[in-house]
Amino acid sequence: QVQLVESGGGLVQAGGSLRLSCAASGRAFSNYHMGWFRQAPGKEREFVAAVNWSGSTTEYADSVKGRFTISRDNAKNTGYLQMNSLKPEDTAVYYCAAARIAYWSGIRTPANYAYWGQGTQVTVSS
């Protein structure tokens, strides 16, 4: 089991920044790839970004590429999502998740993630 707890969400004006954290406990966090997903009201959960178990490989949704940066610190069992140049359309509940899959090509698929946090709300005002 891996327990994940997100923090760092809040209300920010368009153009502002937030840094989300995902604290992991339980089984070795470094054994898992980590992803961030988001879900806006009335919409399906969508992939935002992912980082592999070592931090050497990242992937981003086109909608956030160049604005968001995913990272992790395995010594602290913590993952991060730095969000810059925020837009109102970034408003959603953000979830971190842990996956242990053999093929990186599956990293955007929510069903491939075994563990999920409870989510943190991000609201971007115009």
For residue 75, give Cα distances in angstroms to 4, 57, 59, 70, 78.
15, 17, 22, 16, 8
Contact 30, 104 (CB under 8 A): no
State mean pLDDT over 97-106.
88
Both tokens of residue 100?
A: 């242990």
41, two tokens: 């009201």
In terms of DSSP H, where are the helices of the chain?
none
Q: Confidence band (pLDDT; 50, 70, 90) for 50?
A: very high
Rounded to an integer, what distance in angstroms lies between the CA atom of residue 34 and that of residue 58? Answer: 10
As a whole number of angstroms, the distance between CA 18 and CA 16 comes to: 7
pLDDT exceeds cutoff 80 at 109: yes
* Strand partners for 72: 79
pLDDT band at 29 (very low <50, low <70, confident <90, very high): confident
Q: What is the mean pLDDT of residues 60-64?
A: 98
Q: Residue 103 has what pLDDT? A: 84
Q: Does 102 have pLDDT greater than 80?
A: no
Does position 28 have pLDDT exceeding 90, yes or no?
no
